[in-house]
Amino acid sequence: MNEMELMQIKEFVKDMDKQQKIVYYEQKKKNAGIAVLLSVIIPGAGQIYLGKVGKGIILFITTGTLIAFGLLLSLLVIGIPLLLLGVLLFGYIVFTTPISQQKITMPNFMK
C-alpha cells in the first residue's frame, strides 16, 4: 500500500468503534479473488469468507430457493405441454385411422 491509500483508510476508519475497525481490517486482509471463486462455486460462500456471515447465508438460501423454483417451473412449463402434445398425437392417430385398419386383437386369455 502506498502512503495515499493508508491516509484514505485512516480517514475512513476514524469514526468506527474498535469492533468495526477489527472487522474492516480483517476484511482488508482477505483476498477478493478467493471470495469471488467461492461465490461462483457456492452462492454466498464468498460473503461468509469475508466475514459477512448473515449476508452469505441469506444469499445461499435465496439463490437455492430461486434455483429450485426455476427447475420446478421449467418442468411444469416443458412437461405439461409435452404431455398434452402426446395426448393430442395419440388421439389424432386413434381417431383418424379407420377401424378396418386398426389391428385390435383380443388377448389369448380373453378368447
Cα 85 to Cα 94: distance, rounded to the nearest angstrom: 14
104 within some domain: no
What is the value of pTM for the model shown?
A: 0.52
Q: Number of C-alpha atoms within 13 angstroms, CB side, residue 88? A: 6
105 within some domain: no
Per the structure, the count of domains in the chain is: 1
The answer to whether the beta carbons of residues 46 and 57 sit under 8 Å apart is no
pLDDT given for residue 72 in this prediction: 87
79 within some domain: yes
- The model's pLDDT over 22-79, given as tens digits with 9 standing for 90+, comes to 777 776 777 778 888 988 899 889 888 888 889 889 989 999 999 998 888 888 888 8
2 within some domain: no
Which residue type is seen at 85? Answer: L
101 within some domain: no
- Residue 86 is part of which domain span? 13-94
pLDDT band at 91 (very low <50, low <70, confident <90, very high): confident
For 20-58, letters b (16+ CB in 10 Å) and e give eeeeeeeeeeeeeeebeebbeeebbbbbbbbebeeebee
pLDDT given for residue 27 in this prediction: 67
